[in-house]
Structure 1
Amino acid sequence: MPSQKETLIHQLRDVQLSCLARLKTFQNNQLINDQAATDAKQQIEDLEVDLHSALLWADELSYDEHQLLQAIVALKLAPEGTPDAFLEHFSKLQQLIRDMILTPLQERAAQAAPSQWNQKMLDELLKIRRALRETKNALIAADQDPTADPEFLEQEAAFTAFLAVYRKHLRENTVQADENAIKTMELMIGLIKAATDVPKLKASYQMLNDYVESQIPVTEEKDA
């Protein structure tokens, strides 16, 4: 019989997959514009980062299962032809997960907080995600859609995977960032922001992926 934690992970992965499928249907039926679809896809993919939270896997869970299931059901029952209602329910569910599950776990783990440098790196990783999103959106607005390039999509997926594992190690202090690593990441952020076309963004993304991967210990988790 699956544990409460395994059941939760399964439920949330199912939510993520069904949401991506629903978003694709909205796009195919031209019920949502490209910019809104891009933002929604990023929000849905952010759930994957939450699912990789070291705290979610490392600690025991205590949450209102009925309230969570109620939010999941409300999302699944959102009208098929109204993207706004669907996105509103997804945002509520995502916030509920963070408020009811992740935040309490973070508070309980305060005694085992990341080192000062690791916390700084976690902050830089948030900044680079923002820089990536803003640069991608700027290129889309300039009729240079990087998501039309399969290589870019592969880079984006790889970064999401690397990011989840790297953040886990930083939070658990199983890797140690330092001043040089922080400065390198700051340069990476500037590099991403300076990308004025898709080839430059792809080149920057590859450098970022190579660097983040190099910071992850060689383990079965990384090689999986």
Structure 2
Amino acid sequence: MVSSLIVHNRIRTTLPKAKAASRLAEKMVTWGKRGDEHAKTQAMRFLREHRLTIPKLFNEMADRYRTREGGYTRIHKLGYRDGDNAPMAVLEYVDTPEDLKYSMLIKRLARIELEPSLRVSPTIIEDGQAPKMEKRDFKKSLNHIKGQKKFDKNVEKMMKSQEMSKDDLDKKVSTESCKLRARLEEKKVIFRTNHIKYTEELALYNLFNVSKSKRFYLSIFGRCDFHNRRNRTYPLKR
């Protein structure tokens, strides 16, 4: 599992396995930063596919985390798996080009740009006076503000780790918002097409799902009154 994590930078597994693998994955980076023969021997005892994992661990990953002191992995909880209801998670190395937290922050910024209603006000005080609200609503608004401040800090950390300027961030967000807008339009078109197809199929079903006896009576007597019970048609007795 740790070998796959080193090769692909990210794996999807259950939450207990992710927590257990993260400890060994952290130790691997420590050995990679040490870089001596004893560290290579220790790493080779646990890793597979030495032709791929050992060069990447002792060259690329050691250079990436040279100035970082611990905290090389991150766990994202994904909910529960269908069937056995096992808790699922994504285990990944931080500061990689395909960092999952980085892509999630970009997508959230794009959604905020498309829907300004998602943007949280930085304060709950208006015109020098706090608006009257219930205790529950006050706690909700306070939690929203705390969440927004935490999100802003995460964006600053992401920009610092990726060495990204504000213009680069704006370009990334605008590109992601264009993709999101196109995806929403595509979903609307698919929904309209499916709705039209469903309406046409329903009309054809109502047209052809008529029993032979009913069509026979209709062909002979024209328009008649019938009583339909359990898909059987009987002429009404007058």
Structure with higher RCO (Cα < 8 A, 6+ apart): 1
Provide the TM-score with structure 2 as the length reference.
Answer: 0.21
Higher helix content, 1 or 2: 1
Higher strand content, 1 or 2: 2
Provide the TM-score with structure 1 as the length reference.
Answer: 0.22
- Computing the radius of gyration from Cα coordinates, the structure with the larger value is 2
